[in-house]
Structure 1
Amino acid sequence: MFPAPDPICAPATPLLPSAVAVVRVSGPRLGTVFAPLLRLPEPRQAALRLLRWEGFREKALVLFFPAPASYTGEDLMEFQLHGNPLLVRRFLAHLGTLGIRLAEPGEFTRRALLNGKQGLLEAEALRDLVAAETDTQIRLAQARAGAEPPWIAEARRLLAPWLARAEAAVDYGEEEGIYLNPEELAHELEPLRQRFHVEQIRVRAARHLRDGLRLALVGRPNAGKSTLFNALAEEDRAIVTDVPGTTRDVLEVRCEWRGLPLRLSDTAGLRDTEDPVERLGVARVGPVLEEADLVLHLWPAGDPEPDPTLLRTLAPFAGKVLEVRTFSDRAAAPGVTVAAPLGELDALEGALKERLLGGLDADACLGALATDRQTALLDALAAQVDLLLALEPGGPPELPASLLQGAWGLLARLTGEDRAESTLDHLFSGFCLGK
């Protein structure tokens, strides 16, 4: 336990007019702290209390969770007040006179982490759950909010004996005849190496689902961009006409389509034009292509070849361009074809999952790591084990020992056992005050 030196408070609900507002308080010895204001209710039993302070009278429903059986591991109280923002602010100000300061962003969860009530991976999943905008993102965050992924425990189990042997070989190898056999080590750790690479595929798919797939729709005028944009968004957001150049700006929408969180950008038709407004729209396409995870090059099935101007624009982004043949109900074409007005989009769904999710679907990503921090550590861990298994026989024991120690340390950083203050500061800055 790491008891905090001072109690903290924060609104756990937005400061907006509402029926009920919730204020949370956490810290040591709250019974003594709140003695001037109220009598604490029985643990985990809601009780109505009349609060009086500085001329105010407020009936509040109060809950008390004594340490260590609370969210933070400290004494924790929740006050359910009438949802008047001014009233809540006045109550928070009065708590300040009792020595209860306003919490920093994420400080409740930070204390829960430091007091062993939850792990770093669970805290990161909680942040993603609060920020989720689609059903798929909620499910992904909830799947990560429980126990650690089982492969982490398996990695520890496989690495621990080899780490001990490597350190013994360094310290007592010549005296005691302790040596490492790289072939035996490679045989036993090969399943772990394969598992790390599987998790790398899953984590990249999970990151796309967590952040939303950024898709840019580009093509010549009247290539079917806005029609497909509306079909994916499942609402009429873009104007669709037979007049070339209808779309003159970048239209953006966030949506969930067939379980895929999408961040769609509909762009102006790419062509040489003298219209000054249309030229402004065309000029805005470049930055959209830079930021996109995937560029959908929409090419009508009836066109014998794509527009040369368009190909020149797309050339720098060739690695992330997916050709999609539109109006497939009017003409046959090879590759990925769609007929957006008819809802014929199965081929596009399959192509998106293959290009961005590695052929996985959302269910296959449940429980996978997903944040930038987790991805970087997993990549470093996989690289460390790759180097370890590539060692040749006859080398000094210090080298495998160093690699094994590095892998063990990366696991500790991943789970939060090796805590860096800068990492925690970055993580909890993204939380609201009441978390």
Structure 2
Amino acid sequence: MTPNGAYRPILRPRRGEFAALAHLSADEAARVTPIIELDATGSIVPLVRELRPRTGVLAIDFGNVPDPPPGTTPPGTGRPFPPLDTGRRWSSSRLDRSTSRSGADRPSSPPGADRPSSPPGADGTSSPPGVDGTSPAPGGDRTVSPPGARRAVSPTGAGRQTPATERLADQPLALAERLAELGIAMVPVLRPYESNRRLVAHGLAARMHRRRALLRLQPHLDADNPAQADAAADRVLAATALGPDEIDLLIDLAETACVTHAEEVEERARRVLRWAHGMPWRSVSVASGAMPPNLDDLPTDRPVTVGRLDARLWARLGEPGVGYADYGVTSPVRRIGVHYHRQLPTLRYTTEQDWWIYRWARRGGRSDDRCHDLCRTLVTSAQWPSAGARFSWGDAEIARRARTARGAGSSASWIAWSTSHHISHVLRTIPAG
């Protein structure tokens, strides 16, 4: 049960995160397995083509992607999806209901029911020259659109390639084939609430690639006790036809909102870890997130600290062989009903105990001047690492903007630089295995 110093950041399918993954060093890429949370609004294949992750592997989470209706034909295959499984699904009482990005809008309806979706590219990234993004709501986190906002898939699978039918190509097996063609290994992420058909597809996708999968268990939503956790694990293992030694277990504690809540979450984590040690998982990791979902209320023109309660929780667990995972520099909480408008230049700069949030409004209305002033303030601060611009690709980009007011970038750029620095910092602070 040794993760060999692996880091598993839970990331959104946006340009910002992919730009950071595309600029990892070789040593960093060898230790990072990104978990990409798909949504129902678009395909990640164009992002993978343009911003190829240096990790060479992506763990793909379909938890927010609905099963296609029976008889729908994925574009280019000519073969309809098989009927939905209607057998009894494992379920648990849902305690501690939260607005977790991964669990809050989990449907109680049968597989295939529609789910809220999120607009693509929000708070995305920047990276290669000429790549820019649109500016999301303040705080940079993407929103979830109201239910029914996206177009429905025709159950007849008509030949028209609507955005909805194009998205069917991102079902597990189809996406596994596309990623294999691009030379990217896929690790399916298994969710206890997924349909049997989806789990079977995950098992086939795992065998198509590295015969590995990742079970993402949210104990506050998926299992109240060890018996329910056993039932969930047994169902997933049976449907995927994989053994526990082929599956990485991720215990996702979701939001760690405050110090008091962190203590409660820590006790829950210890109980789940005791259960996890009873099975021969390939590895075990613990994830949580502490970034606020909205940064709008934070002061501007001076850095403000936000405690990295997720990192502190993992350190307090002190469990040998248990790997580290988090939500990068974003929040586990979805923001619903937020309208997009132009964002202030914002960096989320990771240090050992805190994030330093830089939101800059000074120097008039020009974004270039504000970003230049922000970056210049950061590189002269106590938080700037001794390695300076060599610390990460993101730090090099920040240092370049500190030297000149040209090229302030966009919200996509700022998330990219922040994520790049965050990944490099995490890898320096967790054991290499």
Task: Tell me which interval the TM-score lies in, with the shorter structure as reference length.
Answer: under 0.3
Q: Looking at both structures, which has the greater relative contact order when contacts are Cα pairs under 8 Å and sequence separation is at least 6?
A: 2
TM-score (norm 1): 0.24
Higher helix share: 1
TM-score (norm 2): 0.24
Please tell me whether Structure 1 or Structure 2 has the larger radius of gyration of its CA atoms: 1
